[in-house]
Structure 1
Amino acid sequence: MANLTTTTSISSLWYHSHSTKPNSLLNLKSKLQSYPSSTSRAPTTSMAATTATKVIPSIIVGGGRVGKALQQMGAGEDLLVKRGEPVPIDFPGPILVCTRNDDLDAVLQSTPQSRWNDLVFFQNGMLEPWFESKGLGDADQVLAYFAVAKLGEPPIDGITDTNPEGLTAAFGKWGSAVADRLRAGGLSCKVLEKEPFQKQMLEKLIWISAFMLVGARHPGATVGAVEKDFRSEVGSLISELASAAATEKGIVFEEGVEERLCAYARAVSHFPTAVKEFKWRNGWFYSLSEKAIAQGKQDPCPLHTAWLKELNIVQ
């Protein structure tokens, strides 16, 4: 569920990829023209080459750690599109989006609208408001609980002592295709229906929002230190955020949310902590607080709000 960079910044958690500057449309056309046909592909050394799993050729948007890792899981038939390059209309299959959240508008603009229903989003955080604003509805998503330490290195599966079967999950019409690709790369992946996927997505959101905020209150604290030394703080915040999320979405989480999230913290104990990508993470919970207060109701996340203000993240 996490990508590690050489600087181990918090923005590398889970799957954030770094892309190079955009190439021209001419370069992309040249790339497509030189693309090998199904009868004349060169031998590949990809992760999937020695497996029996059929990996559907895909467009991969984003040439960072995760994008490259996904490409290596294929059979040499994928098309890698870097940030800013147009997504071709005539290359069938899923479009795996592995850019930063703030690049999503640009990705959508570069993708023909007729292909929007083939987009599969690997981004972290709460994407549902963005999906709704773009008319994407129940877009395909992947909760990527795996780590890619460096560009070109094979990913490491994110498993915990409470979920030894792995946590990575896919949802949507291309869910099975994504799961096949990840399994070909030696990773676990389950395909979920909307409600169980949403619950797991929210748990992941609660994890990063709670652990990063508590860690920020204790400068230098790693995720492991938060779990070990500040368990009461993070436990209280997890409970608060889970209650707010369940009320907002009309769902009931499975028992043991805190235990599952703390288990993941132990699995990635060396990660640093910081509150980043506020709009996509803690910002969603703060928006629930703002909405309630504007309606004359009690803040559903008072501890969260108080600690955000303590750190001058909000006023």
Structure 2
Amino acid sequence: MASITTTSLSSSILHHRTNPNSLLNLNFKFQSSPSRTITSMAATTATKVIPSIIVGGGRVGKALLEMGSGEDLLVKRGEPVPIDFPGPILVCTRNDDLDAVLESTPQSRWSADLVFFQNGMLEPWFQSKGLGDADQVLAYFAVSKLGEPPVDGITDTNPEGLTAAFGKWGSTVATRLHAGGLSCKVLEKVSFQKQMLEKLIWISAFMLVGSRHPGATVGVVEKDFRSEVSSLIGELASASAEEKGIVFEDGIEDRLCAYARAVSHFPTAVKEFKWRNGWFYSLSEKAIAQGKQDPCPLHTAWLKELNVVQ
């Protein structure tokens, strides 16, 4: 997130099918720009959720399974992804398991059907695997325990919801999430990249500042250490914009702090360094190697303070 033959596929599907549990359907108001608007829950509930392969049986994978119509195929760690089960392949594993997911997936389906739900900066990994503009989902919803319904991560600055999908299967994923009572907008590449970077900045900034204050949740960081996290957000946003040649919409600090308030109970820790803070640190290393100033000096200093880097 080994190999299923054609003759054994039917029994495998039957083994993994689950009876759908109806979740509360809610109406959401979606951004009209710059996305292809997904109308509303009322309009999408009549649309059939396309059967999908779901890779990963954790909290997100099980939640997505419950949103289906009972025709999905759940593939757990170490199991093969079949070549002849149509529909998207929703990858809900840890980032460090992605290489194993590719090894278990027929290569003919890599670019066509894989949809990645992971947090963090995946672009360098996509490029190393020849995946190009792979389908992705920014999941701004929380599943507190295995089997519990997800809670939408709406905020006071974005009451329409923040979850976004990109790629060939974007609308299909949005339909599934709507069936589970969640918001989801479908974005084009540039708009999606901006939102992906904002989420990367959020998790990198809040986790790092929180780690400097043991025991601090993201809500405590937003409330008690706002000046620290604001400085870091500005620094990381500037470095991201310069590296990717983009311009963020006004109000990035307010949006990210609003999300912190919405998930205020989340603990803080610098984790999955390669996929999160590591990308910003790589920008620092590149600049210094070229004889330039560190674009993220505060970020670098605090990583060293915590002995995350030397």
- Asked if TM exceeds 0.5, the reply is yes
- State how 1:1-315 maps to structure 2 within 5 Å: 25=3, 30=8, 32-33=10-11, 35=13, 44-47=19-22, 51-117=45-111, 118-315=113-310
Task: Give the Cα–Cα distance (whole angstroms) in 1 for the partners of residues 252 and 238 of structure 2.
Answer: 11
Q: Secondary structure at the match of 2:202?
A: helix
One-letter identity of the residue aligned with 2:152: D
Q: Provide the rounded CA distance (Å) in 1 between the counterparts of 2:179 and 2:281.
A: 39
The superposition leaves residues 69-98 of structure 1 with CA deviations (integer Å, 9 ceiling, x where unpaired) of 101100001000001111000001000000
Residue 46 of structure 1: how far off its partner (Å): 3.0
CA distance in 2, matches of 1:241, 1:34: 46
TM-score normalized by the length of structure 2: 0.89
| CA RMSD in angstroms, aligned pairs only | 1.9
Q: Distance in 2 between matches of 1:217 and 1:62?
A: 32
AA partner of residue 56 (structure 2): G
Contact 2:24-2:181 within 8 A present in 1 as well: no
* Structure 2: tracts of 5 or more residues without a match: 26-44
Q: Deviations over 1:225-271 (max 9, x none)?
A: 11011100000000000000000000000000000000000011111
- How far the C-alpha of 1:47 sits from its partner, in A, is 3.1
Aligned counterpart, 1:10: none
Task: Please report how far the alpha carbon of residue 180 of structure 1 lies from its aligned counterpart in structure 2 after TM superposition.
Answer: 0.3
Q: Is the partner of 1:91 in helix, strand or coil?
A: coil
Structure 2 SS opposite 1:142: strand
CA–CA distance in structure 1, aligned partners of residues 223 and 109 of structure 2: 46
Residue 35 of structure 1 aligns with an amino acid whose one-letter code is: I
Determine the C-alpha separation between the residues in 1 that align with 2:46 and 2:206.
40
TM-score by length of 1: 0.88
Runs of 4 or more consecutive aligned structure 1 residues displaced over 6 Å after TM superposition? 26-29
Q: How far apart are residue 149 of structure 1 and its match?
A: 1.1
Equivalent pair of 1:48/1:75 in contact (CA under 8 Å): no
- Contact 2:23 2:149 survives alignment (8 Å): no
> How many pairs are equivalent?
288
1:43-82 CA distance string (max 9 Å, x none): 9333379942210100000011111110110000100000
**Secondary structure in 1 aligned to 2:159?**
coil
Other structure's SS at 1:206 match: helix
- The amino acid that maps onto 1:83 is R
